[in-house]
Amino acid sequence: MNGVDKSFPGVKALDRAELRLRAGTVHALMGENGAGKSTLMKCLFGIYRADSGEISVMGKPVRFSGPKEALESGVAVVHQELNQVLKRSVMENIWLGRFPQRYGFVSHKTMYERSASIFRELEIDVNPRMIIGRLGVSQRQMVEIAKAVSYNAKILVLDEPTSSLTNDEVERLFRIISKLRSRGVGIIYISHKMEEILEISDEVTVMRDGCWIGTETVSSLTVDKIIKMMVGRDLIQRFPPKTNEPGDELLAVEGLTGMYAPTCREVSFTLRRGEILGVAGFVGSRRTELLETIFGIAHRSGGVIRKDGCPVVNKNSADAIKNGFAMITEERRATGIFSMLDITFNSTVANIKSYAKRGLLDGSRMYADTQWVIDSLKVKTPSHGTHIRDLSGGNQQKVIIGRWLLTNPDVLLLDEPTRGIDVGAKAEIYQLIINLAAEGKGIIMVSSEMPELLGLSDRIAVMSGGRLAGILDAAVATQEEIMRLAALYV
């Protein structure tokens, strides 16, 4: 890809961007959210048509009219947000739109045999007849990779493939990547995880503000050098200095148990004003279920929640908001944003009743509050009317945080608040979390990134098998201690 330009109204997304991928290599594509990575890949895959520039595959100029043509030409993408037909089988998802036929009818036998053959080749342990919606995220990602192989893809784009995977699942993915690399497949690997990039990649291309910044062999790079290329400056500290000082008890959770298994069981802890309580645990440890039960979007069968010493009952999210709780969900695109609507709606929706005046919404107040969100959280957007889906992941997350701050909560429940966000935006989110704690807010933060938990938290609660395995002082805790507790009830 050479000299690729792409503009949208009010925004130049790509400015003479370039990328060169060699066969049989893993080429990492890095940059802050909004750097142009996704736009560049969409131009490659035929979702967008580049305004100018050249794209060549195997030495031949191409200009795909859409994803179908790209796939048939050997270019496949495994998106971060998997697009699958969840109520159909694994093999139907692989061969969708090109079912093998016999005598004019779909041949399920042939479909099964071809799928099973690819799975054996890649050492993927999945039943092709299984309904795909019953699989975990990691298995569904493996199915998408198998689908790419079924197209005999020579170029495979993996977009944040490990964002929801455990360490064992990451190792399994890396084995598959190594197998594809040995077969001559060129892999474009998009990730914000620095250590992961240095482990799996051969070359790294960094983009910033839609421009190509540089391409280096991985042997010549360090985490600090990558960060400097991405943000254009040194980030001396990945985590800002902590200015919050935990005070009196704000929240007490006693024996909290969810109603429908699998969920949290008999969980008890306290949260102080101005405290950041991290929540660690493996995937499946019921960290998310704990936050959902506190917030009332998952029913509880037992336990008491006390705020400022008084029992509170959050039967649903409306009760939780009224009682001074706010929750940022893990799946930003699925349960966090209203993607088809603008920033004004997304900023004010949780506080919508306060804008009602004689049966109508006060547009001027909504506009003013949206401006406060944009200014206070430094949201990069062309206007209030921009669809939130057109913002980078980091700016979407800032809008969601701003939405909840407008409700003036006392307790913030943050589920993977920096998932899929680049290192520059992460630093801004970290500073925001510390500032909120310094103002006296109580914060419970689930994170799968151990350095994030150790760098931001005052204490770390470790979940294992739905139970609280222990609470550690973050100032002296080690990753080994956290892992040992996380495995206690597995």
All structural domains of the chain with their residue ranges: 2-231, 249-486
Kindly report, residue by residue over 302-348, the tens digit of the pLDDT.
999 999 999 999 999 999 999 999 999 987 877 889 989 999 999 99
Kindly report, residue by residue over 169-179, the tens digit of the pLDDT.
788 889 899 99
The DSSP call for residue 29 is E
Long-range interactions of 43-46: CB distance < 8 A, separation 24+ = 43/1, 43/4, 43/6, 43/14, 44/1, 44/70, 44/75, 44/155, 44/157, 45/70, 45/75, 45/77, 45/157, 46/70
The Cα–Cα gap between 422 and 447 comes to 15
2-231 matches 249-486 in fold: yes
Kindly report, residue by residue over 31-90, the tens digit of the pLDDT.
876 688 888 999 999 999 999 999 999 999 999 999 999 998 999 998 877 788 999 999
Kindly report, residue by residue over 103-125, the tens digit of the pLDDT.
999 999 999 999 999 999 888 88
The Cα–Cα gap between 92 and 150 comes to 12
CATH superfamily of 2-231: P-loop containing nucleotide triphosphate hydrolases (3.40.50.300)
The Cα–Cα gap between 289 and 40 comes to 36
Residue in 227, 200, 228, 203 with CA at minimum distance from that of residue 215: 203
105 contacts: CB under 8 Å, gap ≥ 6: none
Residue 234 has pLDDT above 60, yes or no: no
DSSP conformation letters of 309-327: TEEE--SSHHHHHHTTEEE
Q: At what angle are helices 363-376 and 393-405 packed, to 10 degrees?
A: 120
Stronger pLDDT, 402 or 489, i.e. the higher one: 402
Instruction: List the CATH code of the domain at 249-486.
Output: 3.40.50.300
Measured in degrees and rounded to the nearest 5, phi and psi for residue 92 equal -65, -35
Judged by average pLDDT, the poorest of 148-152, 281-285, 288-292 is 281-285
- Give the pLDDT confidence score for residue 309 in this predicted structure: 95
Judged by average pLDDT, the poorest of 5-14, 51-60, 382-391, 466-475 is 5-14
What's the whole-number mean pLDDT along residues 183-208?
A: 91
- Give the pLDDT confidence score for residue 310 in this predicted structure: 96
